[in-house]
């Protein structure tokens, strides 16, 4: 009893992982647009949600995160919209086509909206 009944089994070509144009350029472009740039912006524009501790205003230390989740979500939404819907040339056009075919611009916008809802939820919980 053969599990495949003589049918051929097709496996993915794992050597595409070694290709710069087919794998690494879209993967790094996706990481740049959806993770690195929004996280850098959220770190630079940080609205701390915790309470401050310290003796003077100059030496206040905010407990909690070093980045703001709402700023991350807003920056990610703006970047995804600019790159995938307005063709902003931050990343190569062929990488945008590959990412759109594999993931879809709508999915990236949906994850941005989910991140924004989480940021609002986290802000509400931290001020409660």
pTM of the predicted structure, to 2 decimals? 0.75
Q: Are 127 and 49 in contact (CB under 8 A)?
A: yes
- What local confidence, expressed as pLDDT, does residue 61 receive? 47
What does each C-alpha distance from 126 to 27, 51, 68, 121, 123 come to in angstroms? Answer: 34, 9, 12, 9, 5
In angstroms, rounded to a whole number, what is the distance separating the alpha carbons of residues 89 and 110?
Answer: 22
In angstroms, rounded to a whole number, what is the distance separating the alpha carbons of residues 72 and 6?
Answer: 51
Q: Along the 128 residues of the chain, how does pLDDT read in single tens digits?
A: 566 677 888 888 888 889 898 899 999 999 999 999 999 999 998 766 555 554 444 444 455 668 888 999 999 999 999 999 998 899 999 999 999 999 988 999 999 999 999 989 988 888 76
In angstroms, rounded to a whole number, what is the distance separating the alpha carbons of residues 44 and 66?
Answer: 9
Other CB atoms within a 10 A radius of the CB of residue 96 amount to 21
Q: Where are the domains of the chain?
A: 19-45+65-127
């Amino acid at each position: 009893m053969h599990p495949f009944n003589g049918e051929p089994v097709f496996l993915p070509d794992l050597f595409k992982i070694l290709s710069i144009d087919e794998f690494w350029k879209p993967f790094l472009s996706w990481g740049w647009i959806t993770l690195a740039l929004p996280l850098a912006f959220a770190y630079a524009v940080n609205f701390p949600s915790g309470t401050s501790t310290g003796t003077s205003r100059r030496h206040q230390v905010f407990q909690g995160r070093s980045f703001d989740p709402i700023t991350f979500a807003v920056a990610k939404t703006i970047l995804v919209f600019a790159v995938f819907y307005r063709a902003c040339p931050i990343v190569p056009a062929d990488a945008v086509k590959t990412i759109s075919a594999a993931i879809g611009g709508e999915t990236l916008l949906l994850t941005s909206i989910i991140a924004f809802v989480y940021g609002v939820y986290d802000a509400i919980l931290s001020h409660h």
